[in-house]
Structure 1
Amino acid sequence: MSRSLTPHRCPLNWLWMLLPFILASVHAAEAAEDQGDDQAHKILIADPFIELHTGPGRGYPVFHVVERGREVELVKRRTDWFQLRTDQGIEGWASRDQMIATLEPTGEPLDLQEPARENYMSRRWQGGISGGDFDGASELSVFGGYAFSDNLSIEIALTHIPGEFSNSYSATIGLMHLFAPEWRLSPYFTLGTGILYTEPKTNLVQSIDRDDQIAYAGVGLQFYLTRRFMLRSEYRHNIVFTSRDDNQEVDEWKYLGFAFFF
């Protein structure tokens, strides 16, 4: 039996409008972090040559070429692009594909492991915001969590479900099991409980506030954008334990969530 919530759609639109600004913030934060994380050190070019671009991407033009056997300075890394400085002071960006054969001054291969995994796995706290649908009504949530291990974490969420004739609010706490934390795109399972509070907006009919307990089970996907940020999407099946002994089943979709680690 579905819980009677009057559909009220509009909050999701602003979430999609904010997405470009969120991604721009991710890019800016990652760039700032790269400046502090990487320490310049000497490396030896082993490929026949390496092309230097004016920026970190294939869309930037090549303006200089460094030949095999030259020693350059690795300044910083931004995802799959590396900023290099030659002994003449020329700075440019080289792709990861061209850096695979690069050597340390000792002759050892340069370690080019993807830094994202070790960074997000080393952070235990996270917080974020998501938008979705609760039984036909739009919802907006804020959440925070702590990871006990690579796979298991606990999460608390506060959700606002606006309706035409009533407002609903929920507070939930649950466990989340991440199946493949080493993957950039990983499925997860969640299980928890909480409180659902419904407050009528109108006095035209006699009604009372409702305060019900809920339990949920859900599945989702999360995608790591960078070392500090990720996107996630989730489906939950809720059971509302009403005071009338008439339990209700509610489908909930969290279409788009944005989270960060700290």
Structure 2
Amino acid sequence: MRCCLLLALLLAAGSVDAAAPVWTVQITEAYLDMRTGPGRGYPVFNTVENGESINVIKKRTGWYKVKTAKDITGWVAESGLEQTRELDGRPVNINRINLDSLVQHRWRAGFASGDFGGANVLSAYAGYVFSPNMSIELGLSQALGAFAENRVASVTLVHQFIPEKRLTPFFSLTAGMIKTNPSATLVLTEDRTDQLAAAGAGVRAWITRRFVFRAEYRNYVVFTSRDENQEIDEWKAGFTFFF
């Protein structure tokens, strides 16, 4: 029950954050042409005038998909976008746009290894990106120790603080289940399944457009049927692939 309540709160937070616009710039030239596709072979169907703003959605080989304040979506050339400005008046930094485009991939998967309460752990996960700041992940982990094997199935909400930076910190909240299988030598101990929750933090570093290094720490609380809950510290590092 506790895990279900935590998961509901995580999903609610993710849905609120997803409504935030990606990035907004302002037109400073007389006008900016919008085309139906990412290339000069596509026709111009709309013009954004001086002083109007547009949201930058994603990049494709020198072209950028944008949305106007009137909810008109189209493509503009990189040369045109270079002439825009930030809302505070600063010139647009195209390098920032190039890095922002990295976080537009909606799906990701990855793996990591490390230490789970003194046991060797191997994890695999897949996730969906709500917005540049917020994503949700489904994960499976196996931890092999001297006295038991632990298997964890979890749902994690991840919040990136500065997604446009190549190196960015993140915070995570996790809910799930853990199954503990004691070693065969511990004949008096039975298998058990318990709920768990965790809070964590870490860093991500973009290596290529679709490849990210990730290191993180999580503090788990296992809600056991015994008098006291169990706390487990986890440290792990691995790689994430975006697609």
TM-score, normalization: structure 1?
A: 0.55
Pick which of 159-168 and 223-232 moved more. Answer: 159-168
* Residue 259 of structure 1 pairs with residue 240 of structure 2: yes
Gaps of 5+ in 1: 1-38, 40-75, 78-103
Give the residue type in structure 2 aligned to 1:167: E
Corresponding residue for 1:98?
Answer: none
Q: What do residues 141-189 of structure 1 show as CA deviations (whole Å, max 9, x unaligned)?
A: 0011111111011111100001233211001102111000000000010
Bigger proportion of residues as strand: 2
Percent of residue pairs identical: 46
* Residue 202 of structure 1 pairs with residue 184 of structure 2: yes
Residue pairs, 1:50-199, within 5 angstroms: 113=95, 116-199=98-181
Q: What do residues 114-139 of structure 1 show as CA deviations (whole Å, max 9, x unaligned)?
A: 67524322201110000111111110
Give the residue type in structure 2 aligned to 1:224: W
Shift of 1:199: 0.9
Give the residue type in structure 2 aligned to 1:123: H
- Aligned partners of 1:128 and 1:185: how far apart in 2? 18
Give the residue type in structure 2 aligned to 1:260: F
Corresponding residue for 1:60?
Answer: none
Corresponding residue for 1:7?
Answer: none
Shift of 1:113: 3.5
Q: What do residues 51-75 of structure 1 show as CA deviations (whole Å, max 9, x unaligned)?
A: xxxxxxxxxxxxxxxxxxxxxxxxx
- Root mean square deviation of aligned Cα: 2.3
- Aligned partners of 1:242 and 1:126: how far apart in 2? 32
Corresponding residue for 2:196?
Answer: 214
- Aligned partners of 2:200 and 2:211: how far apart in 1? 22
Give the number of the structure with larger relative contact order, counting CA–CA contacts within 8 Å between residues 6 or more apart: 1
Contact 2:118 2:145 in 1 (8 A): no
- Aligned partners of 1:193 and 1:114: how far apart in 2? 34
* Secondary structure, aligned partner of 1:121: helix
Shift of 1:201: 3.0
Give the residue type in structure 1 aligned to 2:242: F
Gaps of 5+ in 2: 1-38, 40-60, 63-78, 84-92
Contact 2:96 2:164 in 1 (8 A): no
Corresponding residue for 1:97?
Answer: none
Note closer, same or farther for the CA distance 1:227–1:212 as it changes in structure 2 (3 Å cut). Answer: same
Give the residue type in structure 2 aligned to 1:130: A
Contact 1:138 1:162 in 2 (8 A): yes
- Aligned partners of 1:234 and 1:226: how far apart in 2? 20
Corresponding residue for 2:226?
Answer: 244
Corresponding residue for 2:55?
Answer: none
Note closer, same or farther for the CA distance 1:185–1:204 as it changes in structure 2 (3 Å cut). Answer: closer
Contact 2:138 2:156 in 1 (8 A): yes
TM-score, normalization: structure 2?
A: 0.59
* Secondary structure, aligned partner of 2:225: coil
* Residue 232 of structure 1 pairs with residue 187 of structure 2: no
Contact 1:143 1:157 in 2 (8 A): yes
Q: What do residues 22-75 of structure 1 show as CA deviations (whole Å, max 9, x unaligned)?
A: xxxxxxxxxxxxxxxxx9xxxxxxxxxxxxxxxxxxxxxxxxxxxxxxxxxxxx
Contact 1:116 1:226 in 2 (8 A): no
Larger Rg: 1
Shift of 1:228: 0.4
* Secondary structure, aligned partner of 2:105: coil
